[in-house]
Amino acid sequence: MISGCLLSNAKRRRQDAYRFAGFRSLATVQGVFGDPKARVITLNRRAKNSLRRVREATFGLVRPATTARARSLLRRSRVWLDIEVRHAAYRHCDKVKRERLDFPADNPFYTRRFACYVGRRCVSATIKDVVKELRLDWYTVKELEKQYMAAQLAKAGTPGPKAISIDEISIRTGHTYRIVVSGLHRGRPIWFGGEDRSESSMAQFYDWPGKKKSERLRLAMTGMWKPFRTVTNGRAPKAAILFDKFHVLRHLNEALDQVRKHEYARLTGKQRHYIKG
């Protein structure tokens, strides 16, 4: 690795950008031989570990978020954090466990804010473009995007809409269905799940917001599938059931076809000219 120094004011800004709980960055930045755009920042602990019998493991590389401020300081380099990972030996269970840090994501090779950065980029760009920009694997970007979406859902909380639309979609051949529930006020899906389109799968949706929010429901637009109506009437007794016009027109067209076929079979000769067979 090739070591180098930044200016004093740049050092302070970089230390603020890469400040994590219990760690501080060193004043020097190292490069990686063979990769001119890669930089390694070493993090040291602020205080000694209070655990007894601490064993130090090998150094691991954890990639942080490259925010606009940090990229401008390091000229849009790929930044890696050099962190000391420790293992603690517990006497009561006679086991050695690895310490848990707050800032790494579910994938220990990336920080949480880097996962958020990848998720925000996926909002305005395709996964293929993000892979090319950040030089990551496609599956890595997909997993980081899932973590970002899960964090956003946790912040949003459980919705309590007053008007919903219930429908099912086929995910594969063989009559394999999943239920999709959308909020009519915002016009977007709010729940997707179930194992099929039975009453037990429909009940999973009403278990998700809880009894209190389910009773606030005033309108449920659905097809004429009986399990949907049965569960909705039981879990949301104040909600009015509104049939989707697509299903109503489908049944109306089927009834008209039956009448047309019956009349065509009843008539003979020139009388059939007025009815298309």
In a domain, residue 179? The reply is: yes
Alpha helices, H only, the chain: 8-17, 68-73, 112-124, 127-134, 138-156, 199-207, 211-215, 226-235, 245-266
CA angle 189, 195, 197 (to 5 degrees): 70
> pTM for this structure?
0.54
Does 25 share its domain with 67? yes
Q: Contact 225/245 with Cβ under 8 angstroms? A: no
Q: Tokens for 252?
A: 């109306």
Cα separation of 88 and 86, whole Å?
A: 7
Q: What is the pLDDT of residue 181?
A: 92
Coil, helix or strand at residue 275: coil
Q: How many structural domains are present in the chain?
A: 3
Return the pLDDT at 56. 36
- DSSP secondary structure, 156-223, as one string: H-----SEEEEEEEEEETTTEEEEEEEETTTTEEEEEE-SSSSHHHHHHHHHTT-HHHHHT--EEEE-
The distance in angstroms from the start CA to the end CA of the chain is: 83
Cβ–Cβ < 8 Å for 259, 239? no
Q: Which of 234, 65, 232 is nearest to 165 (CA)?
A: 232
* pLDDT, averaged in runs of 10, over the chain (277 residues): 44 68 72 72 66 37 41 54 74 76 78 86 91 88 89 82 89 85 88 88 90 89 88 90 86 89 83 71
* Domain containing residue 30: 2-103
Distance between CA atoms of residues 46 and 143, nearest Å: 31
6 and 94 part of one domain: yes
Residue 62 lies in a domain: yes
- 72 and 28 belong to one structural domain: yes
Tell me whether residue 12 is in a domain: yes
